[in-house]
Every structure is written in C-alpha cells, then in structure tokens.
Amino acid sequence: MSYTVIAPVGDNLKHAFVGMKEFPTEKFMLISPSNKLKNAQDLKNKLEEFTIKSEIIQINDNIMEEMFRVFGKICSLYKNDDLLVNIATGDSISTCAALSAAFANGLKAFGVMDNKVMLLPIMKLSYYNELTESKMKILRCLDAEDYLSLKELSEKTKMSISLLSYHINGNYKHRGLKEFRLVDIKEKKKILFVKLSKMGYILLKGYIKPNDKK
C-alpha cells in the first residue's frame, strides 16, 4: 500500500525524502505557516520530480490549534490506516504540534535520526475514542473564557447535576474530563464552576465524529 504523508513545513524538509525511502508514498499534505510557503512550494516542486503529488495547506500563527484543525479535516477525508505523519520535517513547534495531533487522532508517526527513520509508539486508541458522546456534548456546551456553574451547564446540556459531576470528575473505573485535562474547575462558595481548558478547546476544534470518516 501507499501512504498519504502529513508533514509540517519547517527547517528539515530534506527528511521528507528519507521517509519516502522507507514508506511507499502516494501523496504529501504539506502543512505550512505563511512564512514557510516558499519552502513548501520548493518541496512541492521537488516532489513532482519523483511523480509524488502534494498539497500545501496554509495555517496561521496559532500552530497548535491550527494543526489540530487541519488533522481533523484530513482524518475526515482519509482512513487512518492510509495516513502517516512525518514529524521530522518541521521545526520545534510544528513538530510538537504534529506529534500531538497524530497521537490524538490515533495516527502512525515517525521521526528521523541520523538519516534513519524512527517509528514512534502508536496509541492503540485515539484520544477521541475515549470520550463518550455525553462527554463531547458537555465539551461543546462549555466556553474557553467564561466559567459555568453546574446548574447552568445542566440547563444547557439537559443532564442532571449528578450526571455532569460523574462525567467531569469520573470515578475509580472511568476517567472524567478533569483527569483528561480537558476542563478547568474552580469552586466558589461551595459551588462548582467549569470551563473548557486550552487542551479541551484545541481537541474540540479538531474533533471528527467516527461516522464522519470513510
């Protein structure tokens, strides 16, 4: 089989060709910030010499958020088994963002060390797959800026306060949104308030329902 390779455009674009030696490649999805577009186009031109198709996807300066958004879109168009992430082509920030997005979506990823491919550990389950629809409903009703009381959240989600508490705090068998670090919690006058954490916001931004995938 041939892979569609997702690669951040950074400081080490020569590593795109190292990966091609190990993994049959049909297409590259080049994720590029605006200041790297020329580099992305140069790489695209070189890939064409090897008859490898490529697509440049421009992102803004919010690298982590944008990486999750783009990965979510790509995962809605391709089967996970057909995708491979080459984190070695990026710079320090885009490499970290691409690896996080790969793990969150359950994608295979690799790096390059001493011109040799290093396949990274694969999460058996996507982060998303560990979140039930009820937990996702709660996340969608939260805001990243303002806290909601459980009573307010109950009205928005149509869930009881006790059920919300279970999904947020979890129990000894099942992890809650708090343990996943997807929500921030504070208590005031014995009233619990909750809002979307930064990670929750990023994860939610890239979320693709399983039945949306091919």
Asked if residue 213 belongs to a domain, the reply is no
Asked if residue 211 belongs to a domain, the reply is no
Same domain as 97, residue 25: yes
- CA 44, 48, 50, 53 dihedral sign is positive
Given 70, 87, 119, which residue is the final one in a domain? 119
Query: Of the candidates 200, 10, 199, which has an alpha carbon nearest to the alpha carbon of residue 93?
Result: 10
Write the pLDDT tens digit of every residue in 115-127.
899 998 766 556 6
Question: Where would I find the beta strands (DSSP E) of 1-138?
Answer: 3-8, 25-33, 53-59, 83-86, 108-113, 116-119
The pLDDT value recorded for residue 214 is 41
d(CA 149, CA 50): 57
Same domain as 82, residue 114: yes
Task: Tell me how many domains the chain contains.
Answer: 2
Asked if residue 210 belongs to a domain, the reply is no
Same domain as 113, residue 7: yes
The pLDDT value recorded for residue 208 is 60
Give the angle subtended at the CA of 81 by the CAs of 79 and 83, to the nearest 5°.
80
Asked if residue 150 belongs to a domain, the reply is yes
Write the pLDDT tens digit of every residue in 35-52.
999 999 999 999 999 999
pTM beyond cutoff 0.85 = no
Same domain as 134, residue 60: no
- What's the domain range around 150? 128-205
Given 119, 154, 169, which residue is the final one in a domain? 119
Same domain as 160, residue 109: no
Write the pLDDT tens digit of every residue in 129-159.
778 899 999 999 999 889 999 999 999 999 9
Same domain as 16, residue 111: yes
Low-confidence ranges of the chain (pLDDT < 70): 122-127, 207-214
